[in-house]
Amino acid sequence: MFESLKEQPADGILALIQMYKDDPRPTKIDLGVGVYKDATGLTPIMRAVKTAEKQLWEEQDTKTYTSLAGDPAFTNAMTQLVLADAVPLENVAAVATPGGTGALRQAFELVRMARPDARVFVPDPTWPNHISILNYLGIEIVRYRYFDEESRGVDFNGMMEDIKTAKAGDVVLLHGCCHNPTGANLNMTEWAQVVDVLNDTGAVPMVDIAYQGFGDGLEEDAAATRLVASSVPECLVAASCSKNFGIYRERTGLLMALSNNADGRKLRQDNMTFLNRQNFSFPPDHGARLVSMILNDNVLRADWMSELEEVRTGMLSLRSQLASELQRLSGSDRFGFIAQHRGMFSRLGTTPDKVALMREKNGIYMVADSRMNIAGLNANTIPILAEAIIDAGV
């Protein structure tokens, strides 16, 4: 039986992590792994999470199952965090999932159940796991232009031309904020135009919002998702708690399927609950319970928001420092896009051979497409990276 299995392609980021570990140079810099790190290189547990865990340890008296859709305290709190009052709660069907990846997988499964011939339009580039899951499920992928390699901003005209070819029943995948891997985002005027195209074509938007609070702020980062949700007949939203709550290993996410009225909510909810049952039965509860405790407690929520703001502004400061150092070394402002990008990532827009050169010569580890994790930097490593970028002729 097992001898008929085929070799699966290696994960490029995991391979990069191993290469970094094997590199003995003390000045090496890890910009590949997609997790937040503080100035010491640690991914810390947030203060509010620690406090909630202590409280949970003292008060929790059972580890029995919650429900197939997850604890309503979590699904309601997260729905409110992401959507606020953009859509009435009774219009939203929601299930807890194992992380944002679980939410995406369930969303794509739901699309396949509802419309087997649906095509999914994805930005080029996008998070590689989007492509991997869609290919595994056998769903047709249509790539739309997104990143302008010259300006390192959004190729908005190309994007609009491409998504206009979507048909009713197709799905258009959108990054709600802090685009991964490029860091380049649409502005709200552009988002409004995207909504117009979605309504004209009848395509269904699916928003992946994995970095709320990492870009311009909690409310600001949710603005595009709320605009989409309130402006189209139907919408899917996949949300992650890994980054903004720092609970990566707890696998905490949420999938929402919503419409502009309450009709059909039970049908959507039943089908999403069914998918949970087929794939993993009851979703993980520990991370979800911590999130609901934090969001429903004024003191914990205030402390979480304060620390999240420190994380966000810290990354903005790193962006500004790197852009300034590159301007000093290059004598030009061609790297100003780094300060304009948002979230953990920026894409330099250079070639794999130059990425390899920086790795071999300077110990700079980033993904081959030149995506770099800004949160992997600190005041000491910024000059090293900037010099490596200039020396490589980026």
Residue of 156 and 33 predicted with greater confidence: 156
- Give the integer Cα–Cα distance in Å for 98 and 288: 10
For the cut 90, the answer to whether the pLDDT of residue 262 exceeds it is no
Q: What DSSP line would sit under 304-361, residue for residue?
A: HHHHHHHHHHHHHHHHHHHHHHHHHHHSSSTTTHHHH--SSEEE----HHHHHHHHHH
Q: Which CATH superfamily is domain 7-45+301-391 in?
A: Aspartate Aminotransferase, domain 1 (3.90.1150.10)
Length in residues, the chain: 394
* Class at the top of the CATH hierarchy for domain 49-298: alpha beta
Q: 3-state SS of 9-70?
A: CCCHHHHHHHHHHHCCCCCCEECCCCCCCCCCCCCCCCHHHHHHHHHHHHHCCCCCCCCCCC
State yes or no: is 243 an active-site residue. yes
State yes or no: is 208 an active-site residue. yes
Q: Which residues does 345 contact at the CB level (< 8 Å), separation at least 6?
A: 34, 178, 179, 180, 181, 182, 183, 371, 372, 373, 374
At 40 the pLDDT is 86
Q: What DSSP line would sit under 131-190, residue for residue?
A: HHHHHHHT-EEEEEE-EETTTTEE-HHHHHHHHTT--TT-EEEEE-SS-TTT-----HHH
State yes or no: is 127 an active-site residue. yes
State yes or no: is 124 an active-site residue. no
- Partners of 53 in the β-ladder: none
Instruction: Classify 281 as helix, strand or coil.
Output: coil
Q: Which residues does 245 contact at the CB level (< 8 Å), separation at least 6?
A: 46, 49, 252, 287, 290, 291, 294, 304
| Predicted confidence (pLDDT) per residue in 105-140, tens digit | 999 999 999 999 999 999 999 999 999 999 999 999
Instruction: Classify 266 as helix, strand or coil.
Output: helix
| Predicted confidence (pLDDT) per residue in 350-362, tens digit | 999 999 999 999 9
For the cut 90, the answer to whether the pLDDT of residue 11 exceeds it is no
DSSP code for 367? -
- Mean pLDDT, residues 1-10 taken together: 89
| Predicted confidence (pLDDT) per residue in 211-249, tens digit | 999 999 999 999 999 999 999 999 999 999 999 999 999
- Mean pLDDT, residues 374-390 taken together: 95
Q: Which residue has the tokens 């194992």?
A: 98
At 241 the pLDDT is 98
- How much is the mean pLDDT over the chain? 96
Catalytic position from the list 208, 221, 285, 303? 208
Position 376, amino acid:
G
Catalytic position from the list 48, 96, 118, 127? 127
- Give the integer Cα–Cα distance in Å for 347 and 183: 7
Catalytic position from the list 118, 210, 238, 323? 210
Provide the residue ranges of all domains of the chain, joining segments of one domain with +: 7-45+301-391, 49-298
| Predicted confidence (pLDDT) per residue in 323-350, tens digit | 999 999 999 999 999 999 999 999 999 9
- Mean pLDDT, residues 84-89 taken together: 96
For the cut 80, the answer to whether the pLDDT of residue 179 exceeds it is yes
pTM: predicted TM-score of the whole model, two decimal places: 0.96
- Give the integer Cα–Cα distance in Å for 302 and 189: 31
- Partners of 123 in the β-ladder: 144
At 244 the pLDDT is 98
Q: Which residues does 346 contact at the CB level (< 8 Å), separation at least 6?
A: 152, 182, 183, 319, 337, 338, 371, 372, 374
Catalytic position from the list 155, 243, 339, 386? 243
| Predicted confidence (pLDDT) per residue in 12-60, tens digit | 787 888 899 999 999 999 999 889 998 888 999 999 999 999 999 999 9
Q: Which two tokens stand for residue 246?
A: 């720092």
**8 Å CB contact between 323 and 341:** no
**Lowest mean pLDDT across 5-9, 10-14, 283-287, 371-375:** 10-14
